[in-house]
Structure 1
């Protein structure tokens, strides 16, 4: 809301009116009356500055008795009444100032401020429409007021106008999305966008907006038609590939889908959420079309990682479920390096490295997680396993006997510790301890 006020301007106005109002009066009378006005006016400003608005109003009323046609006095009265939330008095004071000097926008702005405080949106619209010729930026206020009064058709028309003349803004973008969530307003918007595309076929944003509307209303065929139009007019468009990607997936064309995915992932203009959605769709696709796994791996190498959604971890889980432990290890290692506190991913990594017999890498990862999560049993188990497999038997015993104490309410995992300890003691030739731990494991069955 516009709240600028030029106090100095109004003070000068008041004093100028004070001197000009007595042009035909005796000089002694002019001096006395002007002094009274100035003293009362300055007293009002002083009281207002220390938030004594009642006293400011009393002083301003004396000014109004001396100069009944001074708009600056009524403007200051309006401000003080507004501070006291005496909205009717404030509005009538600003109105009086405006009646005296209709060319000064600040008096209209004062009335608007009163309406805003009262949430009288309808009257606020009337005032802002009068303010726009003074200052075009009031149109932003007008958009919000149309939204507040559910005049979505007017809001949409003004949003489109402002988008073309001054560029888009986040606020207007949100308003527009809110309006277009109602199918009632989509028809006119579609027609408007098609008209814009016809007038300027090289403006990408109009295609993107139209594709979004069709997609959000489940008109996928229409969205694809627009995407093809976009690709034809602007072959380098990243957004065309985002839309055509789904068509290629539907047509089981993994090569074209992969190319579209690569272009989208390389683009700085495509939102990260859209990129993640496309990756997930391709993951689902390759579960039934494994011949395109290499295409997929080439594509995701282009995706910058994000701690909120770690793509490498999701890909690692995909390969883990396929029992491709070499690839699972590769992506899970990348995933936990980006988000080390993802312990679930770490568990899968331990299992993948174990299954793939990468014991040196397993030992390092398990040690890192033993330091990071000292009360979790899994790092101790896999550390013990890696030490056992690399011939460091006594160290393996130490890790396993320490780690088993952290197993809680998981008899299966506790039994796994005991079985592994039995294997280690057998390798050490300690059959007594081997039997001891085998018996412990048997009791947990």
Structure 2
């Protein structure tokens, strides 16, 4: 089959599923409209049947455009909705989501705050606000909002742990993880992170000063020790093939150790497999708890984006690394 034809069919299929998703979202919002409190729609703005139909058409079109990435078109349709019915919570929410997708956090925040004035305890809108604060790197505000979400829904505590970790609030993170563990609600990933944090407090075992790579590899084959593997990976940094093989094994044996992900990402960057390198680095980033390690991840991510020709993301991650290194 012609490749161009296959790509065209693939695009059509993606658009079909995007429209289906938009339709589902639209029906959800129609249900939501009927559930809003009476004072969320001003009494003097009752819509005629014709105006209501137009409103629904514009709203559906906005959802459809957003689903296929046409965020500016979505905003235009939402503006039409707003002209028909001002100060509608669902419209404000959609305005905010589209502005965030366009990286305009200022307007995204303005519209979600308008929506929250009508329903300050809406968990979905509060979670969206957390995303905005994360985009702005305002972790303190993100944590404060997530704490409000947790008060409304305790099942959201796991993400609060993540935010504590991102903000280097390790004491708070461990305390909350202990609570979740007592309730048998701590996920496997968070258990691994907790173990890594607690391990930092213990004195490090003295590293074996073995310079012979062959001896180290033989010893690793017998003991399967992370300490030995870490030494081997450091010695093998310039040997992409060996680095990739050993880091692969390391991820299987020690899935919560960020260094093995970093080394695999480095090996893949050496081999110019930048897309896979980025995926590996993103998977390992959740386990990073130290500034120096975080900076090293950003450096490798910048290299991956450079290899992919994305100079904006390359500069962004290089700047993050420089900030941590300074």
Normalising by structure 1, we get a TM-score of 0.37
Q: Which has the higher contact order (CA 8 A, sep 6+)?
A: 2
Normalising by structure 2, we get a TM-score of 0.49
